[in-house]
A and B are shown apart, each in its own frame.
Chain A
Amino acid sequence: MSTQRTQRPRRAAITGIGVIAPNGQRPDAYWKSVSEGIGVLDRITREGCGHLPLRVAGEVRSFDATALIEDRFLVQTDRFSHFAMAAAALALDDAGLGSGDPAEPFSIGVVTAAGSGGGEFGQRELQKLWGQGPRFVGPYQSIAWFYAASTGQISIRSGFKGPCGVVASDEAGGLDSLAHAAGAIRRGTDTMVVGAAEAPLAPYSMVCQLGYPELSTVEDPDLAYRPFTSKACGFVPAEGGALLVVEDGNRARERGVPVRATLAGHAATFTGASRWEESREGLARAIRGALDEAGAAPEDIDVVFADAMGVPEADRAEALAIADALGAHGRRVPVTAPKTGFGRAHCAAPVLDTVAAVLAMEHGQVPPTPNVFDICHDLDLVMSRARPAELRTALVLSRGLMGSNAALVVRRGESAR
């Protein structure tokens, strides 16, 4: 060989984005809603949920699974996998990888995170179990409601045979799934389809959530989810999610596809369920770990996508964690929480934030935090309208109800470091 190609170290480059969210069922529609601060939280309309004390959520409406997914996958899967398969197909298209059989199936893997599972499917089959008897439970109950279903079905549907994984965790698992994908890329897999989708708005799934004191049961959609304010009263759940195509940056260059962003650093910690005061240190350590891995200084962070739990002590812990980890820069850096406009889709929430971060960097705008107008913490929270800014590096934060904390550093385009 006379020519020598300069190969950079293997890095996890985002080359495809797929979104199925309450505020948009494509990345461009999602960005339009996010950047304009459009709120879509509304009264829950899903069947069988009207009598429950949870009133407001972010629903993915007019999602036509039958138009997007083949019957044989539909009968086997819950709504959360429908979202995941639809988002994965969008991401693969965006990355120029289509949906046909891949030429090198072992070079593509899948990892998803799930925290709610297939409650709607599971409830239907369990109702048959006690209503009619075990003989009336369909065999796909054995796979459809488990957290792993989406990873498996995305792999089967597209013929992928690379390394697969499932993060069965709380909200922060969405960021952990991205870290797993980045690790698989570094270890030699060319491409990973990664992300999370959830469908927690069904009777059984909603009842499972009612025990969380962090859940907002406020009935006015504009008032139900207002983190960082003195009126914070919990979070509003959402359904939907996002899947990304992440591939080795060298591979992306060889294929001639643009690198939209690079997963530069991640770290996760655990401080215990609902121990929000303690999450301060956990989140601060996660931020420092993510910065370390990214080789980034606090001043390099141009925007923070906050976890924004909406519980006063959790909000305080997050604001303090940002200050602890970023120092004086923590009070200057723009912080945003676009999820106040469409809800918190459990494991999918930080993946949707990561998508918003990539789009924000591409558009040079920090999107606003809908429904939040007056905060009681020492943060530069972007409110009312998007703020133009040159954005090269974003920090995405996530905490889960079970006590996980995670931070992700994302760089615009192909990271030089």
Chain B
Amino acid sequence: MITTEVTVDELAVLMKKAAGITVDPQELKQAAGSPFDCFGLDSLGLLGIVGELENRYGLSLPPDSERCKSPREFLDLVNSTLKAGA
């Protein structure tokens, strides 16, 4: 079985693509509990990332995903959803 998981590295790429935010994946990993604001990501930027992931995996993420405060909270929710969906 293929385990689908969005990594911190992939989140960094998505932040660049969807919101124009350049963030070092290592820093993102270390500060994964910090609010998205700290990285310069606003709510519309997070919404764009949610949209990218929904299109990529062909499923709906829960409404709470776009309200996540930190990268860790977001990745946990996304990955548990993907796991449940798989």
Contacts and interface: CB of A to CB of B under 8 A. Distances in A.
B32 interface: no
A138 B22 CA distance: 18
B31 interface: no
A138 B51 CA distance: 8
Nearest to B22: A71
B69 interface: no
A76 B42 CA distance: 11
Given A135-B54, A138-B51, A139-B48, A70 B18 contact: no
A106 interface: no
A72 B40 contact: yes
A136 B56 CA distance: 11
A70 B20 contact: yes
Chain B interface main SS type:
helix
Contacts of B48: 138-140
Given A138-B48, A140-B48, A75 B18 contact: yes
A204 interface: no
B21 interface: yes
Nearest to B46: A139
Contacts of B40: 72
B19 interface: yes
Interface in B14-59: 16, 18-22, 40, 44-45, 47-48, 51, 54-55
A208 to B, nearest CB: 26
A72 B44 contact: no
Interface string A135-172: 11011101100000000000000000000000000000
A170 B27 CA distance: 48
Interface residues of B, number: 14
A233 to B, nearest CB: 43
A155 B44 CA distance: 17
A139 B41 CA distance: 13
A44 B77 CA distance: 49
Contacts of A138: 18, 48, 51
Nearest to A134: B51
14 contacts: A71-B21, A72-B20, A72-B40, A74-B20, A75-B18, A75-B19, A75-B20, A135-B54, A138-B18, A138-B48, A139-B45, A139-B48, A140-B44, A140-B48
Interface residues on A, range: 10 to 19
Interface string B44-85: 110110010011000000000000000000000000000000
A75 B14 CA distance: 13
A280 to B, nearest CB: 47
Contact of A72 (B21, B47, B51): B21
Contacts of B20: 70-76
A132 B21 CA distance: 25
Given A72-B45, A138-B48, A139-B51, 16 more contacts: A70-B20, A71-B16, A72-B19, A72-B20, A72-B40, A75-B19, A76-B19, A135-B51, A136-B51, A139-B45, A139-B47, A139-B48, A140-B44, A140-B48, A142-B44, A143-B44
Contacts of B22: 71
The 4 closest A-B pairs by CB, nearest first: A71-B20, A75-B20, A72-B20, A139-B47
Nearest to A143: B44
B55 A136 contact: yes
B29 to A, nearest CB: 21
Interface in A60-83: 70-76
Interface string A153-193: 00000000000000000000000000000000000000000
A140 B16 CA distance: 14
B44 to A, nearest CB: 4
Contacts of B45: 72, 139
